Amino acid sequence: MTETIIRLTDLRSDTRYATHAPQMPAQVRAATGHLEDALARPLHDLRISVTDRCNFRCVYCMPKDVFDKDYAFLPQSSLLSFEEIERAARLFVEHGVEKLRLTGGEPLLRKHIERLIEMLARLRTPSGKPIDITLTTNGSLLARRAQSLKDAGLTRVTVSLDSLDDTIFRQMNDVDFPVAKVLEGIAEAQHVGLGPVKVNMVVKRGTNDSEIVPMARHFHGSGVVLRFIEYMDVGTSNGWRMDEVMPSADVIARLNDALPVEPLEANYAGETAQRWQYRDGGGEVGVISSVTRAFCGTCSRARLSTEGKLYLCLFASSGYDLRTLLRNGASDAQISTVIGDIWHKRTDRYSALRTAATGLPEDAPPKVEMSYIGG
């Protein structure tokens, strides 16, 4: 495959990535429990980044050549407080959000995060249902925090793990962290009931694609849902390298040769992962085709950044400043109306950027069919 590289800079140093200051609404509107964007996509999921810091330096996310010892992370005063996060989350829930995912950086680096989880666990949907509260972690601190997270009200946990081979894993996290510690965290999360535990493996061709089958064999029959994610640019620090992308279709083909699989229906509309099950009853596996099969058409996710910016897409070039509203006396009704106005105007973003960077067609190719993998 021809190599294609498009360099992207750290967004904080690029003045093109300005923050929009939301306009205070002339008239407020009550949330109805259902909010759709300009393409009729409902808002169901909110990712909340609780810190910009991480103790790993994964090459596809926070590479050392950008996030070195001199990198200026956000001061504590710039981060949303737990009270501000809870307030914003409550307003999003009133608009129809049913799942909150806590992310980072590494979210377990945020001090006393259990207190935030306790606050969020008290939220209810307009119909009275509890909120699904999940957390994505690199697993380095999970073994000793799993019980307290569960006790605080965390529902599930997703662990990023790119290899079982200790040498490859240390190379990819780039801080010499051993894989055994992450596996301990996964086991403890299962033990305390933070499940089903999901494990995300970013597959980088030529680096860890040899780990596809070993990872599958390791988690086969364990109750852990393993998901393979196509290596991609995350929009802030690295570049598109199509020669390093292993399409999900190839992942499934390789997996099927060792452990035959068959497709499953999606759990819900807009689910990012394509679901498969082992034919021998050994559980479920998934693929997230971020590059070769963009899922923008059904995307129901928004992201609230560490400093209170609302992003409508991972690849959005700018965010909307909610922190100023939260701190400068805006009422709940005003902020709720602003959120509704922003989402109503949302249109596709990632598909266009992906097409420009990769040359792949705008329309998503069909799902991987069993005929492709010889099933």
Known binder of ligand: residue 327? no
Q: How far apart are CA 260 and CA 253, in angstroms?
A: 9
CB hemisphere CA count around 22 (13 angstroms): 28
Known binder of ligand: residue 324? no
Known binder of ligand: residue 302? yes
Indicate the length of the chain as a whole number. 375
Give the helix ranges, DSSP H, for 227-274: 248-258
Known binder of ligand: residue 303? yes
Known binder of ligand: residue 136? yes
Known binder of ligand: residue 156? no
**Pick from 234, 239, 228: nearest CA to 202:** 228
> Is 135:153 a contact under the CB 8 Å cutoff?
no
> Is 54:106 a contact under the CB 8 Å cutoff?
yes
Known binder of ligand: residue 119? no
3-state DSSP assignment of residue 215: helix
Known binder of ligand: residue 47? yes
3-state DSSP assignment of residue 304: strand
Give the helix ranges, DSSP H, for the chain: 82-94, 113-121, 142-152, 166-173, 179-192, 212-219, 248-258, 323-327, 332-344, 350-358
For residue 121, count other CB atoms closer than 10 A to its CB. 16
> Is 47:301 a contact under the CB 8 Å cutoff?
yes
Q: How far apart are CA 288 and CA 230, in angstroms?
A: 6
Known binder of ligand: residue 246? no
Known binder of ligand: residue 54? yes
> Is 311:305 a contact under the CB 8 Å cutoff?
yes
Known binder of ligand: residue 16? no
Cβ contacts of 70-78, under 8 Å, gap ≥ 24: 74/306, 74/307, 78/306, 78/307
Q: How far apart are CA 69 and CA 206, in angstroms?
A: 28
Extract the annotated binding site for [4Fe-4S] cluster. 54, 58, 61, 296, 299, 313
Extract the annotated binding site for S-adenosyl-L-methionine. 60, 105, 160, 232
Extract the annotated binding site for GTP. 47, 101, 136, 198, 301-303
Extract the annotated binding site. 47, 54, 58, 60-61, 101, 105, 136, 160, 198, 232, 296, 299, 301-303, 313
